[in-house]
Structures are given as structure tokens and as C-alpha cells.
Amino acid sequence: MAESLTGLDPFTGRPLSVTVHEGLITEVGPGPADATGWLAPGLVDLQVNGYAGHDFNARDRTVEDVIAIVEALRGTGVTTLVPTLITAGHHEISAALRVIASARSIDSRVRHAIPYVHLEGPHLSPEEGPRGVHDPAQIRPPSIEEFADWQAASGGLVGMVTLSPHFEGAAAYTRELSGQGVHVAIGHTHATPAQITAVVDAGARLSTHLGNGAHAMLPRHPNYLWTQLADDRLTCGFIADGHHLPADTLIAMIRSKALYRSLFVSDAVALAGMPPGRYETPVGGAVELSADGRLGQVGTPFLAGAALGLADGVARATGAPRLSLGDALRLATRQPGRFTGGRGVLTVGAPADLIQFEWAPGELTLTMSRVLAHGRDVGP
């Protein structure tokens, strides 16, 4: 049976009505004059390491952990997510891929939510700063043979790879993966402008959380940030939680790339969605999650990961100068949706992934009142 959802369009502020039937959007048009709340596509997150105490990267992760992450994130409005596996040994990555593939095979809701997996590493910079918290012992050059093993282990589930272009074989690797339909992103790098341009020429089209996973101090020019900002072939991901990038930096970078070459990611770790407090983690050791969502390494000024979700990032970015709610939502729906087969849009024929939510200027998150994934109620 068809059903119509109504709310205010975040892009125009006008009443909107969306009709769904059998998991698809069948009609989009004006809504009733008394419509309240906001209505938008479901959020699309291209970078999720974990959530609500569950970790895609944990050695003991299970199918149940994968399902739990999907369900928890749907409650926050994320209807499409890309599990992100960080630098690890070959067999550890294979094992993680098999678990995610198994979860997709047995649960249609997970299969709809997870289009593919993102490998953030192990082909990253070994240098302090760009490497971030990735294990230096496991950093290694890209290998077509290793990638083929991962695809065989997961049934071709790897759909995005983040690498540093400084490796000698980075351009050839990028060309091969791009030819297979895999998105290649630049990140955690100390590469020269020429090395970055070479992998872009070979097919790289994304930058992973630009401005983070970088040296604390850089030459004024040239440097790897300017090169990625200047190349119109690259769409740049940004963590908009208010902790990873100051508001001025975020807005300046988005202006440089323009909205249609920018997108938001959460880069959420397992402690995202957990209560404030001190925790022990396998990677960061003793960490403290503050009430404002900052996750820091105890006794240092350093961040220990991202602990806010995409809905939080949208709300906080909307508080930045000259970024409207509609623009911020576009960066968390349509823009990342370009890399997931066209998700994140309200158009006839698109999957009925929808969110109804409350938000007012100054609020630090979007409060979900209803979430649909493929036409089915899934949250909050």
C-alpha cells in the first residue's frame, strides 16, 4: 500500500510530500500547508569504523556486530553506510571482509544499507602525522595480488580504497582498481603534488577526510592540501564534527571545492554513540569522551577518533558561517550518494530512504522522528 510522508523541504522551507510504494519513491510534490518538521533523504556515510560499542575492525567482530551497527545508525538517520577497515595484516582484513559479507548475505536490511566496504589502508604514509593511528608495522605498498585476494574473500565487496600516492606503484594500482569500478581516494599522505596528480590522472576521484591525517605543520606552498583542493576532478570528504576541522577551515575548504565537489563523513569509531567517560581502547589506549562529543587521548591534546554521527555533523556545520541546513544536508545525502549508486535523493524511482526530523538553529543534532529504509520503518 502506498504511503505519503510530509514535512518541510530543508532546501526551500516549503511543505513537501513524498509518496512511497514497495520500497521506492513514486511521487514527489508539494505538501500540505500545515506540514511540520523536516523531510529529507536518508543520510549516506562513506566512512564508518564502528558505532555504539561495536567495531568493524575488532578482531572478534561478528555478524551480530555488523547488524547492530546498521540498526543503531539507522536510528540516527543513516540509511546507507560504508564500513571502513583500517590498516591491518592481510588475513585480518580478509577475515573482517568475510564477516561483513556474511552479514549482507543473511540480512536484506544490512544488504540494502551496506553497498560496499572501504579499505582505509594499508597503503598509507608511514610518517608521523599523516599516518594517524594506523599501525606502522602494517603499512605497505599497494599490491594487485593482495587486492584480488580480498575481493575473492568477500565476493567483490571492496568498493573504495584510500591510499597515499607516494608509493612507486600507486598510479598503476589506481588505474587497475578504477578499471574494476572501485573508487580510489587519496588520504593519510605526504605525497608531492606531482604524485597526487599522477593518481588523479589514473582515476582517483576522492580525498579522504581532507585536513586530517596530515602533518601538524606544512609548507605554505606547495603542499598536498592545496593540490587536492585545486584539482576539480577530486571530491573531498570532510569531518564536520567541530573538533576535527575548525569552522573557518571547513567553510574555506568547502568554498574552494564548491558544494558539488564536497561531502561529509562521520569517520565514527566504536565509541561514537556511547556515554561520556573514560575508556580503554585497543588503538588509543586511555581515551576520554567528553559531553560535547570530543574523543581525546588522555594526557595529550590529540584526538583519538571521531565520536559523533553524521546527523551531529550536519547540525554543527549548519551553525558554521553561511552554510544552510539544505547545503549541509546535501553534503550528507546527495553528494556521498553519488558514490553509492545515486542514493540520498528524493526522486521518483529512488529507494525510499527517508528521514523526518526536528531541528532549530543552534541545536547540535538532528532529532529523528521517523526513519524509513527502502520503505520500511527502522527508527528511531
* Percent of all residues in the chain with a pLDDT value above 90, rounded to a whole number: 91
Write phi, then psi, for 150 (nearest 5 degrees): -65, -40
Using CA atoms, how far residue 288 sits from 64, 244, 295, 304, in Å, is 26, 16, 6, 9
pLDDT at 250 (0 to 100): 96
Cell of 102: 556474511
Beta strand segments in 32-169, E: 38-41, 43-48, 50-51, 54-55, 78-86, 117-120, 158-163
- Other Cβ atoms less than 10 A from the Cβ of 12: the count is 9
Amino acid at 14: R
Q: Supply the pTM of this predicted model.
A: 0.97
Using CA atoms, how far residue 250 sits from 123, 228, 358, in Å, is 26, 14, 24
pLDDT at 301 (0 to 100): 77
> pLDDT tens digits, residue range 231-290?
999 999 999 999 999 999 999 999 999 999 999 999 999 999 999 999 988 766 788 999
69, 51 in Cβ contact below 8 A? yes
Cell of 350: 529512488
pLDDT at 282 (0 to 100): 72
pLDDT < 50 positions in the chain: none
Cell of 73: 545508525
Residue 145 burial by Cβ neighbours in a 10 Å radius (0-12, 13-18, 19+): exposed
The DSSP-derived string for 229-296 is HH-TTPEEEEE-SSSSS-HHHHHHHHHHH-GGGEEEE--B-TTTTSPSEEEEETTTEEEEE-TTSEEE
Q: C-alpha dihedral over 166, 172, 174, 179, to 10 degrees? A: 180
75, 272 in Cβ contact below 8 A? no
Which residue is it, cell 565520536? Answer: 307
d(CA 328, CA 363): 14
d(CA 58, CA 248): 35
Domains of the chain and any CATH numbers: 42-344 (3.20.20.140)
